[in-house]
Chains A and B, each alone.
Chain A
Amino acid sequence: MPALNFSAPNLAIVAYAEVDGATGASTKLNSGLVTSRVGMGGYLVLLPTNLNVNEEQDLIFVQPKSNPDGSGVVAKDFVIQDAFASGKNIIFFDGALAAGATVPVESTRIDSTFFLLILRTTITPTV
């Protein structure tokens, strides 16, 4: 194995943003993305054409955060859909179980402000 030296260019920053939960806009922190809210708890992040990244190469981190008005400090879950090279979907769910439930059931979508970081590998997959 050739080993990974620290700081070797194996991951590159593709894009990042802070997305507002209420509107889906990204006006604070935005590396050049177009972001929008697609229904309750759903967000679409469009990458510039020259930064499209397919799902075999991208590595995405999402971090829920409080809303700009200080609200939103509640438990919430999310899932990322990265199947498309030009756009990535993030969907948030209420982290609370339904009243009286002791096991998870289908969750309710919930809006959330969040950080997004997309990296990509710069080496060729070996498998």
Chain B
Amino acid sequence: MSGLNFSSPNLAVVAYCEVDFEVGASTACNSGVSTTMLAVGVYQITLPTQLSQPDAADLIIVQALRTPGIEGTQGRWGRDIVVDDSDLFNKVVYIWRTAPGGIAPGPNPTPIQLNFKFMLLRTTIQAPYNLPP
């Protein structure tokens, strides 16, 4: 097994951005992707044509952010995030509020608009690689 040497270029940065909760815009930090809000709590990140990624090659990390304007200084809700990467160009992020904290109890979980950071990496090695038996 050739193994992974530390710091070997096995993952490459494809795209990243910080998405605003209101309309899904990304103006603060954006590597060159288009972002939009499809519905409450549903955001789409569209990759440039030359950076399209099959779901077998990409690795996506999403991090929810405290969202000024709708949350207090320390945040207000638990939140869950799921990514759908099945499309080559459009990666979809779903966000839910998972605890009623600070507001009247309501349906749970509930889709919610929140700011978040998005990072898409991709493998640079051929898959499958050293798969388990």
Q: Show the binding face of A for B, using Cβ within 8 Å.
A: 9, 12-16, 18, 25-36, 48, 50-51, 61, 63-66, 70, 72-77, 95-97, 102-104, 115, 117, 120, 122
- Cβ-defined contact, B132 with A25, below 8 A: yes
B55 within 8 A of A: yes
The chain A residue with its CB closest to the CB of B83 is A65
Q: State the CA gap A9–B9 with chains docked (Å).
A: 12
B129 contact from A13, A31, A104, A117, Cβ within 8 A: A31
Q: State the CA gap A31–B11 with chains docked (Å).
A: 10
- Cβ-defined contact, A95 with B7, below 8 A: no
- Cβ-defined contact, A102 with B105, below 8 A: yes
A50 contact from B3, B127, B130, Cβ within 8 A: B3
The chain A residue with its CB closest to the CB of B110 is A75
Q: State the CA gap A28–B126 with chains docked (Å).
A: 10
Q: Which 5 A-B pairs have the closest CB atoms?
A: A75-B109, A12-B6, A75-B96, A75-B80, A102-B105
B108 within 8 A of A: yes
The chain B residue with its CB closest to the CB of A11 is B7
13 A-B pairs within 8 Å (CB atoms) are namely A30-B130, A63-B81, A64-B81, A66-B85, A66-B86, A70-B84, A75-B80, A75-B96, A77-B78, A96-B98, A97-B108, A117-B61, A120-B6
- Cβ-defined contact, A95 with B129, below 8 A: no
Name the interface residues of B88-133: CB closer than 8 Å to any CB of A. Answer: 94, 96, 98-100, 105, 108-109, 121, 123, 125, 127-132
Residues of A within 8 Å of B128, CB to CB, are 27-28, 30
Q: How many residues of B contact A (CB 8 A)?
A: 41
Given contacts A75-B98, A102-B100, contact A64 B80 (CB under 8 A): yes
Residues of B within 8 Å of A48, CB to CB, are 1, 3
Q: State the CA gap A89–B7 with chains docked (Å).
A: 24
The chain B residue with its CB closest to the CB of A112 is B82
Residues of A within 8 Å of B61, CB to CB, are 61, 63, 115, 117
- Cβ-defined contact, B82 with A76, below 8 A: yes
Residues of B within 8 Å of A33, CB to CB, are 132
Given contacts A16-B59, A29-B127, A64-B83, contact A95 B6 (CB under 8 A): no
- Cβ-defined contact, B98 with A95, below 8 A: yes
- Cβ-defined contact, A28 with B55, below 8 A: yes
